[in-house]
A and B are shown apart, each in its own frame.
Chain A
Amino acid sequence: MKVLLTDDSSTMRKIQKRVLASMGIEDVLEASNGKEALDLIGQHKFDFVLLDVNMPEMNGMETLKAIRSNPDTVKLPVIMCTSVADKGQVMEAIKAGATNYLVKPFQPADLQKKIEATFGK
């Protein structure tokens, strides 16, 4: 399984990467904003993307909309991971095509459950 982590926080990416490693997922690439993520999505075939919302350059909502507007990635699973958890933002993300949604703060087990739920395990 190949995964793209997109978060402007390098520490958050380290934490997410460790959770993925504990699930046996080692093929992981990292991006620190939406533009970097879209570049990598254009170059690699990912099984899913973990996408932060609040990022510089290009935020997560803009990135999600770009992913969904591209026929090549319209079905790419995207798990949004954000610290702003108001219902309006969650609904906006779901409407824009988010596959799942994880709210910070979270415990490692919460991320693992979201990934498993996304893939129906």
Chain B
Amino acid sequence: MKIEYINPFIQAAEDTFKAMCSVDVERDGELTVRKAGLSPAYGLIGVIGLSGSVKGAVLMTMDVGTGRKVIMKFLGETMITEADLFDGFGELLNIISGAAAAKLGKVHLAIPAVMTGENQKIHSVQCSPWVIIPMRFPEWGKFNLEVAMEEV
């Protein structure tokens, strides 16, 4: 996967969380690469497929406690439901992916899917390896953006 595919996702995450949640995010370590196949996941897990001039997927994971803080800020409410948590998490992933996709050509987004649980595994049959982008909210904790993508 081309490394120039990654920067739009980092920029989109920074812009999205700043605009929609009034919170800063920052990188939290080096990029790592994981081969396609079974991979561990935890907490809140959102995934969205990409098609068009590229094919691939974007994954966002964070622990549920961090996710609750993010979605409370997104909604501007101090109490949120489980439905708010899942829906809001998917919408933020959708916005991040859309903002990045706009810089990558004519890319179509699938509808995001969100799940939760501990010790989960995700199986990917993408040809391209996953690039893992560790990020963090300075006040709330870590999250990962993971991108697998290749040109069509």
A residues in contact (CB < 8 Å) with B: 8-12, 14-15, 18, 54-56, 82-86, 88, 103-107
Contacts and interface: CB of A to CB of B under 8 A. Distances in A.
Contacts of B99: 83, 85, 103-105
B95 interface: yes
Interface of B: 15-16, 18-20, 71, 74-76, 83-84, 87-88, 90-91, 94-95, 97-99, 101-102, 105-109, 111
Contact of B109 (A10, A15, A18, A84): A84
A85 B95 CA distance: 10
A105 B95 contact: yes
Nearest to B20: A105
A84 B18 CA distance: 18
A84 B101 contact: yes
Contacts of A106: 19-20
Contacts of B106: 86, 88
B102 A104 contact: no
B94 A9 contact: yes
Contacts of B88: 9, 11
Given A8-B111, A54-B94, A83-B97, A105 B15 contact: yes
A12 B19 CA distance: 13
Given A11-B75, A14-B84, A83-B99, 8 more contacts: A11-B71, A12-B91, A83-B95, A84-B98, A104-B20, A105-B16, A106-B20, A107-B20
A9 B111 contact: no
B27 to A, nearest CB: 19
Given A104-B95, A105-B99, A83 B109 contact: yes
Nearest to B106: A88
Contacts of A83: 94-95, 97-99, 109
A105 B106 CA distance: 19
Given A11-B87, A11-B91, A84-B107, A54 B74 contact: no
Contacts of A104: 16, 20, 95, 98-99
Nearest to B18: A105
